[in-house]
Structure 1
Amino acid sequence: MTQAAASTAPGEKPGFSTILPRDFIASIVVFLVAMPLCMGIAVASGVPAERGLVTGIIGGVIVGALAGSPLQVSGPAAGLAVIVFEIVAKHGLSMLGPILVVAGLIQLIAGAAKLGNWFRAISPAVVHGMLAGIGVLIVAGQFHVLFGDSPKAHGLQNLAAIPGALAGVQFATLTQVEAALAVGVVTIGSILLWEKFRPKALKLVPGALLGVVAGTVLATVLALDVKKIVVPESITAAIAIPGVADFARMSDPMLLVTAIAVAFIASAETLLSAAAVDRMHDGERTKYNKELGAQGVGNMLCGLVGALPMTGVIVRSSANVQAGAMSRMSAILHGVWILGFVALLPWLLRMVPSAALAGVLVVTGWKLVSLQHVRHLFARYGLLPALIWGATFVMVVATDLLTGVLVGMALTLLELVPNLKKMRLNVFQRELGPDESEIRLEGAATFVQLPKIAKVLDSAPNNGRVTLDTRGLTSLDHTVAEALSDWLKGKARAGVEVELPPSCAFGDRLRAAGAH
C-alpha cells in the first residue's frame, strides 16, 4: 500500500486539504526525475533536447488532465528513442511531426473503438524482450556520446565501434574525448552510488538528477572542453510546426507503416505501464480505453509542434506513486514546473554537458536489459516463453524495433497450436453473498481471450472475499497466467481474500502468486 493509501480508511475519500499538499510534493519529485530524462531521451533520439521537454510539458498538462490512469505520468520514453532515431536518420526531422499526428490519430480511434484491453494481451515475453533490446541499443549508442562522438546509424554499428572507441582513449591527456568520458563516468558513478547508499531521509531525491548535477559541476569547475546541450532562448523557438508538404509525404506506404508501428509500440508500453502502476496503489483503477485516447491526443499535439512521441512511463509513474501522489493533479503540476523551468531558466540547461545526459541514459538503458524476467519465464512456464523473449531481443538489436516485435508476436502464436481445436473460453461471475463473489473460468485461457478475462477481473470488488475457480480450465498460457498473477497480487495488497478451490487446475502456479 502506498503512502497515499495508508492515510485514509478503506472506502473513505480523502479531502482536498489532504490531496493537494501530497500532489504538490509528488509533482516536484516527478519534475526532478523527468527533467534529465526528457532531455536525455531527446538527445538519444537524435533531436534537440528542448523537444523532449515540450513532450514532457504536453504529457503533464494535457495528457495528465485527460488520462484514464490518474497516477501515471506521460512523457518521452526510452522505449521509442531507437525508432525515432531511425525516423530522423531515414526521413529527416521534419517528418517526425506528421508521423506522430497519424500515430496519435490511430491511438485516438483505437481508444474510441475500445481496443485498449487488447494491448494487454501482448505477451510479457515480447514486451520485456523488446525493452531489453532497446536497452542494449541505448547503451551502445550513448556509449559513443561518452567519448565525445555521435551515435552511428544502426545498433550493430554502435556495438562494433565500441572497441575502437576504447582504444582511442589517451589517459595521459585531457582532450575533448577524455573530458567527455570523465563527465560521463562521474555522472554514472554518482547515480549508482546514490542509489546504493542513499539515506532514507533523501529517498525521493532522484539519482538521475544528482548525476547530471555532478557531471555539470565537474565540467564547470574544471572548465572542461565538452559539448553542451543546445537550448533556445525561448520555449516558442522549440516549436516546429510541420508544413503542408510534410503531411503530403504521408501518402508513402512506408511512412504509414512507421506511424502504425509508433502507435502500436507507444500504446503497448503505455498500457503495460498503467497496469504496473495499478499494482502499486489501491486507488482508482486505469480506464484503458480512456488512457489510450488521451495518449492519442497527446501524440497528435506533439506531432503538430514537432516534439517527441510520448507514452506512459513507468520510471516517472513509480516515482509519482512512491512520493505519495493521490490524484492526476501531480502529473499536471509536473508539466507546469517543466514549462516554468524552460521558460525562465534556459541558461541553466545550456550548462549541462551532453556526456552527462548520456551517462543518465546508459544507466537507464542498462536497467532495461534485465535478465530476471527471462529467468522468471523459463522457471515458471518453460522453454517457449523464454525463446520468445530471446528472439524478440535478438531481432530488435540485429534489425529494428518493429521487426523484433513482429517476430516475437508471431512466435507467440505457437502457444495456440495445442488449443486450435478447443479455443473456446467461458468466463462467469456471480455474487455468492454479502461481500462474497465467484469468478469461474472454463476452457482454454490463451492470450486471445485475455480481453474477456480482464474485463471480468477488473469488475471484481475491492473488498470482501473472491473465489477464483479454474477447475474447468484445460490450458493456461503464460500471458494469461501473468495477468492472473498480477491481479492476485493487487487484490492481496487491497486486503481482498482470494480463494482457489483445492482441486483447481493450475492452482499451484496461481497460489505462488498469492492466492489462498
Structure 2
Amino acid sequence: MTFQPQNASTLRRDLLASFVVFLVAIPLSLGIAVASGAPVAAGLIAAVVGGIVAGLIGGSPLQVSGPAAGLTVLVAGLVQTYGWRATCTITMLAGLVQIALGASRVARAALAVSPAVVHGMLAGVGVVIVLAQIHVVLGGSPQQSAVANLRELPSQLAEPHTRSAVVAGLTVLVVLGWSRLPKIRVLRLIPGPLPAVALATALAWALGWQVPRVDLPPSLLDGWSLPVMPQGSLFGITGAVVSVALVAAVESLLCSVAVDRARPAGVPAADLDRDLLGQGAANTVSGVLGGLPITGVIVRSTANIEAGGRTRLSPVLHGVWVLVLALACGPLIEQVPLAALAALLVVLGVRLADVSRVRALRHHREAPAYFVTLGGVVLFGLGEGVLLGIGVMAVLALRRLTRLSVRTEQLLAAPGDAPASPRWHVVVEGTFTFLGVPRAARALQRIPADARVDLDLNVDFMDHAAFDAVHRWRLAHERQGGRVDIDEVHEAWYERAVTGDISQAAKNPPPARWWAPWSNRRRRPEAELDAPEMSPADVLLNGVRDYHGRTAPLVRPIMAELAMEQKPQHLFITCVDSRIVPNIITASGPGDLFINRNVGALVPRHGSGTPDDSVAATVEYAVNVLGIKTITVCGHSNCGAMAALLAGGSEVEHLEGLSRWLKHGNHSLARFLAEEPPVGEQALARLCKINVIQQLDNLRTYPWLRERVDSGDIELVGLHLDLGSATVEVYDPAGGAFVPVPDEAPRPRTLT
C-alpha cells in the first residue's frame, strides 16, 4: 500500500488534520464503549484499528473509521446475549462477510436501502442512547432495553446523584457553547468534546468527588485471549453476524458517499468495493484483538476534511496517535468520569435523533418509513426496526407503482359539433394495471353515450387487463354513436396492443411531446376522419388545457418560488421567428432567460437616426436592475429579415413600420458587402451570421455598457441556430467565425 506523493504543504495539512481527528475520536470512542457495555479499552482498540487498517486499505482516502454510535444498540444486545468475547467473534466473522461482499463487487447494492430507513435507524439509535445514558448522567445504571430505561426514568429523576449530574451538565454546556466562542483559529482547531471532557475531569479531580470513572486495564491487550464461539442457535448467531456486517457496511458506504461529495479538488473518488474490503479487514482485526465493530464515521470524517486532510495519511496517523495515548496516558484516561462520557453521548444521541431530515422525506412522502424505523428500533431492537422500515418502504414503493389518477371534464362544444353531442376530456396518468381498472371504468362509464371523448393515456405502463378494459369501453362507446380519440403521451401501449406490434421495447425512453408543434401531435388516423376543423383560437385554448393538465402541476412549485421575484441569469436577444424557441435550444426553464425578441434580432445603435428605445430599455433594465452579467444575441438561418435586407427592402416597402425597423440592419448589410465572400457560401447564410456579429458591436456603442464589457463585468455572446440541422454554433472572437459548441467547453468567450 502506497500513499499519494506528499509535498510539504500536503504533509503539514495531513499532520494537523490527523491530530484534530484524534482529539475528536478519543472521547467518542470511550463513550461508545461504555454505552455498548464493552470494556473501555475496546473503544480505543477499534479506533486504532479503524484508523490504521481501514485507512490503509479502504477506498475512501479521507474517510475516518472507528467505533460508531449507530452500532451501539446492536453491540449492547450482543454483549448481553452472548458475552463480550463471543461478541468479538461475531465482529471478526462480520468482517469476513464484508470482505466477501467487497470481493463480489456488490457494494453499491447496499445503497439501495432507502435514506429514510437509514436516517430512521440513526434517529432510533439516538433515542436509545439518550434513554440509556441519562441514567448514567444521573448517577445510576442503564437498563437492558429502551422501554425499561423509560419506565425507570421517573425513579432515577427522583433520586439523582448530584455530583454526577453536575459533571454531566458542565460537559453538555461546554460542548454546546464551544462553537459559539469567538472564531479564533486555535480554538476552531480543537473540537468541543475534548475541552468538555477535560474540564469535567478537572472539576471532579479538583473537588475530590467520588464519582464512577473509566476503568482501563494495565495495557490495551491485557487479559487478551482467543475469541470464543457464541453459544446459541445457529440461526441466531448467523443473524447476528449478518446484522453487524450489513449495518456496518451500509453506514460506512453512506458515509463514504457523503465524504466523496465533499472531497476537495485533487482527492481521488471513492472506490466503494475497496472501501468495503477495508472495513471488512478492520473488523476482522478488531474482533481478533478485542475491539468494537468498526464503520466509517461521518463526524470524524467531516472533521478530517474541515481540518485540511488531503490523503489517507491523515486517518492512518489519527490511529497512531490514539495508540500512543492509550499506551502512554492510561492513568490520565482513568480520571475521566463516566458521567462526562455519558453526557457527551446524550448530545450525540440528540443530534442523531434530529428530525430536521423529515422535511425532505415528507416532500418525497417517505416520512412513514422514517418514523416506523425509529419506533421499531426503540421498541424492538435495531434489526427489527430496520426490517420494519424496509417493509414500509416496500409498501410505499408498491403503492407508487400502482398509483393511477383519472380526471374527467366536459369541454365546450367545438364549431361543427352537434348541439347535443358533448365533448369530454379524460386524462389517465400513472401506472395502469389491473388494480387501476375499477377506478378508470367508473370514470369512463359516467360519460354520456353519444359524447366525443379525448382520452389522454399518460401512462408509463399498461398491462393487458387495463388495455382490455379501455378497448372494450371504446368499442361499446363508438357503437352507441360516440367518438373516442386516444392520445398516448408516453409509450404507445394501446396502439401496439391493437396492432399486435410488440417489437418496441416497453422501456424505451418516452418520446417528447411538449415541444412538438400542434400539427405534429399524435392523433389516431381514424379519429381524424370527418372531424371538423378546429379554429385557431380553439387550437390555442386546447394547448392551454394541455398545459393545465400536464405541465402546470410539474412547474407549479418552481413558479410559486418565482412569483414575487425574478432572477434571470442571461439577457437573450433573438428574432421573433416562430421556429426559434430559446428555452429549447438552451435547455432552460422559467426564470433563467430575460428575453427580447424583435424582427431580425436587431440592436439599434446608440444615437441612431431612427429612434427606438425598446431594445435599449430591455438592456438597461436587465443590467442595472436585474444584475444580469451575460448578454446573448442569437440569430438563425433563413431569416426573413436578412432576406429583406438582401432584396433592398423592396419586398416589405408597403409595410411602413417594418421598413423603418429594418434600417437598423443597414450596418449588417454594409459589413456583408465590405467582406470578401467565402467560396461556396450562400449569401443569405453569410448575412445571417454577420448580423449577429454586428449586433454585438452595436451593443458596444452604448458607452455605459462598453465600459462594463471592457472591465469584464459583462459578457457578450453570439449564437447562431441552423434550422435545418437544429444545431447551435457560438461565435469565436479570436477566430472571427462561428464554431460548433464543444461537448465539454469552458465558459463562452466574451467579445473583445
Q: In which range does the TM-score fall when normalised by the shorter chain?
A: 0.7 to 0.9
Kindly provide the amino acid, as one letter, of the partner of residue 234 in structure 2: D
2:61 paired with 1:70: yes
In the alignment, which residue of structure 2 is the partner of 1:438? none
Change (3 A) 1:66 1:402: same
* Contact 1:99–1:250 under 8 Å retained in 2: no
- 1:276 is aligned, of 250, 253, 258, to 258
Write the distance in 2 (CA, Å) between the matches of 1:238 and 1:182. Answer: 34
Write the distance in 2 (CA, Å) between the matches of 1:374 and 1:78. Answer: 20
User: Any gaps of 5 or more consecutive residues in structure 2?
Assistant: 403-429, 433-459, 462-508, 513-582, 591-752
In the alignment, which residue of structure 1 is the partner of 2:339? 355
Write the distance in 1 (CA, Å) between the matches of 2:290 and 2:272. Answer: 26
Q: 1:74 Cα deviation (Å)?
A: 0.3
Write the distance in 2 (CA, Å) between the matches of 1:343 and 1:472. Answer: 67
Change (3 A) 1:250 1:303: farther
Q: 1:196 Cα deviation (Å)?
A: 2.7
- 2:151 is aligned, of 150, 160, 163, to 160
Aligned residues with identical type, % of pairs? 39
| Structure 2 SS opposite 1:226 | coil
In the alignment, which residue of structure 2 is the partner of 1:411? 392
Q: 1:198 Cα deviation (Å)?
A: 5.1
- 1:196 is aligned, of 171, 175, 180, to 180
In the alignment, which residue of structure 2 is the partner of 1:394? 375
Write the distance in 1 (CA, Å) between the matches of 2:11 and 2:278. Answer: 23
Match runs of 1:203-218 below 5 Å: 203-218=188-203
- 2:358 is aligned, of 363, 374, 380, to 374
Match runs of 1:18-417 below 5 Å: 18-169=9-160, 177-197=161-181, 199-201=183-185, 202-237=187-222, 239-243=224-228, 246=229, 249=231, 252-282=234-264, 283-378=267-362, 380-382=363-365, 385-417=366-398
Change (3 A) 1:240 1:504: farther
Change (3 A) 1:65 1:198: farther
Q: 1:298 Cα deviation (Å)?
A: 0.8
Q: 1:15 Cα deviation (Å)?
A: 4.7
* Contact 1:135–1:367 under 8 Å retained in 2: yes
Write the distance in 2 (CA, Å) between the matches of 1:113 and 1:241. Answer: 29
Write the distance in 2 (CA, Å) between the matches of 1:262 and 1:362. Answer: 23
Change (3 A) 1:30 1:134: same
1:438-459 deviations in whole A, cap 9, x for unaligned? xxxxx89xxxxxxxxxxxxxxx
* Contact 2:55–2:61 under 8 Å retained in 1: yes
> TM-score, structure 1 length as denominator?
0.76
More helix by share: 1
Write the distance in 2 (CA, Å) between the matches of 1:472 and 1:62. Answer: 51
In the alignment, which residue of structure 2 is the partner of 1:173? none
> TM-score, structure 2 length as denominator?
0.53
| Structure 1 SS opposite 2:374 | helix
| Structure 1 SS opposite 2:180 | helix
* Contact 1:50–1:238 under 8 Å retained in 2: no
| Structure 2 SS opposite 1:197 | coil
* Contact 1:97–1:241 under 8 Å retained in 2: no
Kindly provide the amino acid, as one letter, of the partner of residue 247 in structure 2: I
User: Any gaps of 5 or more consecutive residues in structure 1?
Assistant: 1-12, 170-176, 424-442, 445-469, 474-500, 509-516
CA RMSD of aligned residues (A): 2.5
Could you list the runs of 4 or more consecutive aligned residues of structure 1 that deviate by over 4 angstroms after TM superposition? 420-423, 470-473, 501-505
Kindly provide the amino acid, as one letter, of the partner of residue 243 in structure 2: A
Change (3 A) 1:103 1:238: same
Write the distance in 2 (CA, Å) between the matches of 1:139 and 1:301. Answer: 30
* Contact 2:221–2:289 under 8 Å retained in 1: no
* Contact 1:98–1:242 under 8 Å retained in 2: yes
Q: 1:195 Cα deviation (Å)?
A: 2.2
Q: 1:18 Cα deviation (Å)?
A: 2.2
1:370-411 deviations in whole A, cap 9, x for unaligned? 111012211x213xx011111111111111000110111111
Change (3 A) 1:471 1:56: farther
* Contact 1:51–1:238 under 8 Å retained in 2: no
Change (3 A) 1:186 1:472: farther
Q: 1:240 Cα deviation (Å)?
A: 4.2
* Contact 2:98–2:277 under 8 Å retained in 1: yes
In the alignment, which residue of structure 1 is the partner of 2:638? none
Whose Rg is larger?
A: 2
Q: 1:414 Cα deviation (Å)?
A: 2.4
| Structure 2 SS opposite 1:114 | coil
Kindly provide the amino acid, as one letter, of the partner of residue 257 in structure 1: G
* Contact 2:66–2:295 under 8 Å retained in 1: yes
1:399-427 deviations in whole A, cap 9, x for unaligned? 1000110111111112432437989xxxx
Residues paired across the two proteins, number: 412
In the alignment, which residue of structure 1 is the partner of 2:641? none
Change (3 A) 1:368 1:471: farther
In the alignment, which residue of structure 2 is the partner of 1:459? none
Q: 1:339 Cα deviation (Å)?
A: 0.5
1:436-495 deviations in whole A, cap 9, x for unaligned? xxxxxxx89xxxxxxxxxxxxxxxxxxxxxxxxx9779xxxxxxxxxxxxxxxxxxxxxx
* Contact 1:471–1:504 under 8 Å retained in 2: no
* Contact 2:255–2:296 under 8 Å retained in 1: yes
| Structure 2 SS opposite 1:236 | coil
Write the distance in 1 (CA, Å) between the matches of 2:314 and 2:96. Answer: 26
Change (3 A) 1:160 1:422: same
Write the distance in 2 (CA, Å) between the matches of 1:471 and 1:504. Answer: 21
